[in-house]
Amino acid sequence: MRTVHCSKLKKELEGLERPTYPGEIGKRIFENISKEAWALWLKHMTMLINEYRLTPIEPKARTFLEEEMEKFLFGEGSEVPKEFKPE
């Protein structure tokens, strides 16, 4: 098992098994984000796609999601849409 000091959760946790995203951001995620934090991002990303009715293959949606991913995993966090009501 590979461990990383998770930038999101601020502790040593199990790392990802392989890069999950292309490019430099993917390398940064692989080196600094835990499986647990990645799972949290996937759940948050799904909510964003559903709430904003995004089509992830559209360049504008991909850019938005990548910006939100950066904020969620490494920054101040990605905001929840105002209209979102958790179940």
3-state class percentages of the chain: helix first, strand second, coil last, to nearest 5? 50, 10, 40
Work out the number of other CB atoms within 10 angstroms of the CB of residue 29. Answer: 25
Residue 59 lies in a domain: yes
Q: What is the pTM of this model?
A: 0.88
Residue 83 lies in a domain: no
Domain of 50, in residue numbers? 3-74
Instruction: Show Cβ contacts of residue 76 under 8 Å, excluding neighbours closer than 6 positions.
Output: none
Q: What is the pLDDT of residues 32-63, one digit of tens each?
A: 999 999 999 999 999 999 999 999 999 999 99
What is the CATH number for 54?
A: 1.10.3880.10
Residue 85 lies in a domain: no
Task: List, as one string, the DSSP characters of 4-21.
Answer: EE-TTT-SEEEBPSS--S
Residue 58 lies in a domain: yes
Q: Which of these ranges, 23-37, 50-64, 72-86, has the smallest mean pLDDT?
A: 72-86
Residue 87 lies in a domain: no
Closest CA to 32 of 78, 70, 76, 77: 70
What is the number of domains present in the chain? 1
Q: Do 27 and 38 form a contact (C-beta atoms < 8 A)?
A: no
Residue 86 lies in a domain: no
